[in-house]
Amino acid sequence: MPISRTFIAGALAGAALGAVAVGIVLSAKPSVESSAASQGGPGGPGRPGGRGGAGGPAAFSRGGMAPAITVASVAPANVGRTLEAIGSARSSKAATLVAETAGLVTAVEIIAGKPVKQGDVLLRLDDEAQRIALARARAQYPAAKANADRFAALAAEDAASRLEADTAFNEHKAAEADLRAAEFALSQRTIRAPFDGVIGLTLIQRGDYLRVGDVVTTIDDPASLIVEFTAPQEAASAVRIGQKVSATLAGGAGETLEGAVSAIDTRVDPVSRTLRIEAAFAGGAKILPGATYAITTTNEGASALSVPGLAVQWDR
């Protein structure tokens, strides 16, 4: 049976491709063996510690570098918890002074930023009518008292009836009450500092008419300042009375001030699930009442074994 030329050509081409593949495999095998020999094997040249072996002089001669290793001991340390919050400052003693009675302003002694003592006069209202009423009460009181004493003595000797003595006594007590009422009405015409502190601004001037409840000024005691902040209920257990607190004016301006936790509320807010906390700062601290402060506090925590943070790494 005759064999076609096409079949013969295909067979020759296949044989040629097979020979090329075998040659590639044979040429690759010595390279692998050569690489293994260069690295060295156990017990001879190229074995660990031998010539060309891993860790041997040949490794460094080819440009290799020994790995840098830092050793640290596992040691016990306090694992604390840091709480960061935003708080609002206020004085431990602060008041907004208002007019208790209506009237015309006759004198203003308010100077913003001026330290005052308890009882210092800050503002006066027209008090002419009150002074007249007080003078009348003072004039009536001695006579009423003397009359009550006289009838009491007469009643003791049966020279006057018990009814007359009781009437004189009641008139005496009424005159005494009128005197106290007149003194109180006059005192309301003068606004005084309720405690030692620093006076705030006022817009009131002499000649202004004040109504009941009108704000006169504010007063703050700088001897003790409070920053109030809140903590989530899950972090509340980490806060203790006396724990140190750092406060920085929100925005990073100003120095960091040091204080301590002075009060912790007894209830968690059912809406926000937060707990109110107060931190006290000693007098002289540059804290502005009403300003917002960034609060940081860290509790000591419990003792636990710890390692440097760089010793723990993970892939993300």
Tell me the per-residue pLDDT of 217-226, one tens digit each, with 9 for 90 and over.
Answer: 999 998 888 9
Convert 185-226 into a string of H (helix), E (strand) and C (coil).
HHHCCEEECCCCEEECCCCCCCCCEECCCCEEEEEECCCEEE
Q: What is the DSSP letter of 92?
A: S
Going by pLDDT thresholds of 50, 70 and 90, the confidence category of residue 32 is: very low
Mean pLDDT of 286-305: 80
φ/ψ of 228, rounded to 5, equals -100, 130
- Whether 46 shows a pLDDT value over 90: the answer reads no
Q: What is the mean pLDDT of the chain?
A: 80
End-to-end CA distance of the chain: 72
For the beta sheet containing 209-210, the strands, ordered from the edge strand earlier in sequence to the opposite edge, are: 190-192, 121-125, 103-108, 209-210
Q: Give the model's pLDDT for residue 236.
A: 77
Angle, vertex CA 129, rays to CA 124 and CA 135, nearest 5: 105
Q: Give the model's pLDDT for residue 104.
A: 97
- Whether 94 shows a pLDDT value over 50: the answer reads yes
pLDDT digits (tens, 9 = 90+) for 158-177: 888 999 999 999 999 999 99
Q: For 243-272, give one letter per residue: b (16+ CB within 10 A) or e.
A: bebbbebeeeeeeebebebbeeeeebeeee
Q: What is the DSSP letter of 285?
A: -
Mean pLDDT of 101-120: 96
Q: Give the model's pLDDT for residue 1.
A: 43
Mean pLDDT of 177-187: 97
Q: Which range is most confident: 65-69, 73-77, 202-206?
A: 202-206
The pTM of the whole model exceeds 0.75? no
Mean pLDDT of 207-234: 93
Is 123:199 a contact under the CB 8 Å cutoff?
no
* Cα–Cα distance, 83 to 298 (Å, whole number): 6
User: Kind and range of the H or E element at 261?
Assistant: strand 257-268
User: Residue 45 contacts by C-beta under 8 Å, 6 or more apart in sequence?
Assistant: 51, 52, 53
Q: Give the model's pLDDT for residue 25.
A: 41
C-alpha separations of 295 from 10, 226, 243 in Å = 87, 12, 12
Tokens of 72: 């640290």
φ/ψ of 110, rounded to 5, equals -90, 125
- Whether 61 shows a pLDDT value over 80: the answer reads no
With tokens 């010595």, the residue in question is: 30
